[in-house]
Amino acid sequence: MMSPASSGRMSPFELRASLSLASLFALRMLGLFLILPVFAVHARHLPGGDSQTLVGVALGAYGLTQGILQIPYGIASDRYGRKRAIVVGLLLFAAGSFVAAWGPNIAVVILGRALQGAGAIAAPVTAFAADITREEHRTKAMALIGGSIGLMFAVSLVAAPALYPLIGMGGIFAATGFLALAAVWVTLAVVPAEPASGGGARRVVPGALRAVLRNAEQLRLNFGIFCLHVVQMAIFVVVPTALVRYGRLPVSEHWKVYLPVVLGSFALMVPALLYAERNRRMKFLFLASIGLLLAVELGLAVCLDNFPFLVGLLLFFFVAFNILEACLPSLVSRVAAADSRGTALGVYNTTQALGLFAGGAMGGWLAQHWGEPSVFVFGFALAALWLLVASSMRVPVDAAEGVS
C-alpha cells in the first residue's frame, strides 16, 4: 500500500484540514459577498445613499481596514498561533455585521463595514492551510480555499436577490454576523489542531516583512490580487443598477441572470483548469484569464446598455475571476518561506483588501462624476497593466505542478 508521503492523493488529515478551512473561509466570504448584488440598489433608500461615491465607499470600506490589519494579523498568527488570530477576527467581523444591520444611514453602514474589515483572517487561514499540507498537495489545498471564494461569490449572487425581499438589507447584514459566529464554532470544533511549535509560541523571523516586500515575484502576485479585486468591486457598483435599468429586472429577479451565468462559468472553468494542470499550461491559462478580464472590461465599457451582451460578459467575467482567485494564493504560499508564510500572506491579503476598497471607492466616484462607462475604461487600463506585469513572472520551481 502506498504511504501518504508517497501517494499522489491528499491524506485524510490533509483533506479534512483543507475542507474545514475552506468551509471556514466560505462562511465568512458568503457573509461579505451577500450584500454586493443588492446594496447599490438598496442604498438609494438610505439617508446619504443617493451619492454613488458614498455607496462605493460603503462597499469598499471593508477593504480599507482589511488592508491596514492583514499584515498585523499575519504576524500575530506566526507568533501566537493561527486559531487565536482567526477567532478574534471572526468576532470583530460579526460585531461589524450587527452594526451595519442596525445602521439608520449610509454613514453608520460605512462604519459597520469598516468594523467587518477589522476581522482580517485571510492571512492566518491561508497560512494555516500551508502549515498542515505537504508541498506537493498545497496547490490543491489553496485551490479549495480560493475556489470557496468564487463559489460563495456565486452563491451570494443568486441568494441575495431572493433574500432581500424577505428579510431586507438589515436582515442580510445580521445573517452575515451569524455566519461569522458559526465560523468561530467551525474553527474551534472542526478545524484540526495546529502543528506543534516548540514552546507554544512561533519563532518570528527577523526582517521577514522586509524580505517579503523585496521579493519581486511576491510583488507581482500582490499587484495581481489588487487588480482583480479592484475590478470586482467596481463592476458591482454599476451592474446591479444596470440590470434594473436595461434588463427591466427588479432586484428580486436578478437571480435569473446570476444563476445561469454562474453555473455556466463553472462549467467552462473546471475543464480549463484540469486541462492546464494536466498539461503543465497553468501559466498560459493564468495569462489568458487576465486577457479575458481585459476583454470583459472593454465590452462593458461599450455595450453596458445591451442586455444580452451584458449577460454574456458577466459569464466570462466569472470564468476569469474564478480561475485567477484559485491560482493566486497557491502561488503566494509557494513563493513564501515556511517560517514567514503568515507574514507573506498578510502582505498578499493586504493588497487584496486594498483592492476591495479602491475598487468600491473609485468605481463609485467615477460613475458619479464621469459616467458608468468610465468605470470599465479604468478597469480595462488596470487589467492591461496587470497583464504586462504578469507576463514576465518567473514560476517557482516547487510550483511546477501548479503553474508552468
User: What pLDDT score does 346 carry?
Assistant: 72
Domain-located, residue 40:
yes
Domain-located, residue 187:
yes
User: What pLDDT score does 198 carry?
Assistant: 36
Domain-located, residue 207:
no
User: What pLDDT score does 295 carry?
Assistant: 96
Total domain count, the chain: 1
Q: Across the 404 residues of the chain, what is the mean pLDDT of every consecutive 10-residue run? A: 50 80 78 80 83 83 82 81 89 93 89 88 80 70 71 81 88 89 88 62 60 82 93 89 89 85 86 80 89 96 92 93 81 70 74 85 90 94 95 61 42
Domain hosting 20: range is 14-193+214-399
User: What pLDDT score does 205 carry?
Assistant: 59
CA-based nearest residue to 278, from 394, 402, 396, 393: 402
Interatomic CA distance for residues 164 and 4, integer angstroms: 47
Interatomic CA distance for residues 211 and 222, integer angstroms: 14
Interatomic CA distance for residues 273 and 117, integer angstroms: 31
At residue 107, the 3 state secondary structure works out as: helix
Q: What is the pTM of this model?
A: 0.74
CA-based nearest residue to 142, from 391, 392, 289, 345: 345
Q: Which amino acid is at 378?
A: F
Domain-located, residue 178:
yes
Domain-located, residue 183:
yes
User: What are the backbone angles phi and psi of residue 392, rounded to the nearest 5°?
Assistant: -105, 15
Domain-located, residue 199:
no
Domain-located, residue 203:
no
How many CB atoms lie under 10 A from the CB of residue 160?
24
Q: Look up the CATH number of the domain holding residue 395.
A: 1.20.1250.20
Phi/psi class of residue 11: alpha, beta or left (left: φ > 0; alpha: ψ in -120 to 50)? beta
Domain-located, residue 274:
yes
